Amino acid sequence: MPLVRIDIKQNPDTSYAKRLGKVVYESMKAAINVPDKDNFQVLTEHDDDHIVYDPTYLGIKRTDGVVFIQITLNEGRTTEQKKLLYKTIAENLNREVGVRLEDVFISLVEVKKENWSFGNGIAQYAS
């Protein structure tokens, strides 16, 4: 059960954030086998004063089109699976939405399965 947070600068296209979310979800399904309907996202747009990034950190030239993606998911995926996920998300966002590869910033947060409650105050994945 991934929980995806996508943060971007405000965009005049009111469908832009939702399109980003769709691409990220489809990329997770393809790269790390996230199941159908397991789609939970928080999409947030910020004004210029509330999103900060270094435009050249690690020699990567970022623009105001930077897309921050934080994915909280169960631990256990291999480094190879994570690399495939990063590549799949970046390439799909580039191809389908026009996001520059350099502007795709991804952070994974891995948690134990018992750290989720999907509702009703129950830890559905706890053994």
Q: Domain range spanning residue 67?
A: 3-115
Q: What are phi and psi of 86, to 5 degrees?
A: -60, -45
Give a yes or no: residue 86 inside a domain.
yes
- Say how many domains are in the chain: 1
Beta strand pairing call for 67-74 and 3-9: antiparallel
Neighbours of 117 (CB within 10 A): 12
Give a yes or no: residue 127 inside a domain.
no
Residue pLDDT tens, the chain, 127 long: 799 999 999 999 999 999 999 999 999 999 999 999 999 999 999 999 999 999 999 999 999 999 999 999 999 999 999 999 999 999 999 999 999 999 999 999 999 989 988 899 999 888 7
Neighbours of 65 (CB within 10 A): 15
Give a yes or no: residue 44 inside a domain.
yes
Give a yes or no: residue 121 inside a domain.
no
Query: What residues are labeled active site?
Result: 2
Give a yes or no: residue 60 inside a domain.
yes
Who contacts 101 (Cβ-Cβ below 8 Å, separation ≥6)? 90, 91, 94
CATH number at residue 36: 3.30.429.10
Give a yes or no: residue 122 inside a domain.
no
